[in-house]
C-alpha cells in the first residue's frame, strides 16, 4: 500500500512549490496561480490560499496529471529535499 501523503495547508503547498521553481502568476478567485515551464509547455496550477489542511481529494487533484503533474512521488521528493535543506550543517 502506498504511503499516505502528509496534511498540507494551501499556503504550505504554495511555499513548497515556490521552493521548487514555480512562480506566482497572480491571485485568482479560489487561490494563487503558480506557473512553470516544463518541456516547452507552460503549466498553470491554482492552489487555494488556506491555512487549514487541504482535503485529500484537493491535494491529489493539484498534484495529478491534469494540473501540476508533480505526482505523489514528486511531492514526497520535494518534501524530502526540503527536510535535507533545513538540516543544519555540522
The pLDDT tens digits along the chain (90 residues) read 456 889 999 999 999 999 999 999 999 888 999 999 989 999 999 999 999 999 999 999 999 999 999 999 999 999 998 877 776 665
Q: Is 37 helix (H, G, I), strand (E, B) or coil?
A: strand
- Distance (Å, whole) CA 79 – CA 71: 12
**pLDDT at residue 90 in the model:** 54
**pLDDT at residue 70 in the model:** 94
pTM: 0.86
Domains parsed from the chain with CATH numbers: 10-82 (3.30.920)
Amino acid at each position: 500500500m502506498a504511503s499516505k501523503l502528509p496534511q498540507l495547508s494551501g499556503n504550505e503547498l504554495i511555499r513548497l512549490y515556490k521552493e521548487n521553481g514555480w512562480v506566482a502568476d497572480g491571485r485568482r478567485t479560489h487561490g494563487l496561480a503558480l506557473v512553470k515551464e516544463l518541456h516547452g509547455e507552460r503549466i498553470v496550477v491554482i492552489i487555494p490560499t488556506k491555512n487549514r489542511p487541504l482535503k485529500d481529494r484537493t491535494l491529489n487533484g493539484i498534484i495529478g496529471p491534469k494540473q501540476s503533474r508533480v505526482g505523489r512521488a514528486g511531492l514526497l521528493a520535494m518534501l524530502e529535499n526540503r527536510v535535507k535543506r533545513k538540516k543544519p550543517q555540522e
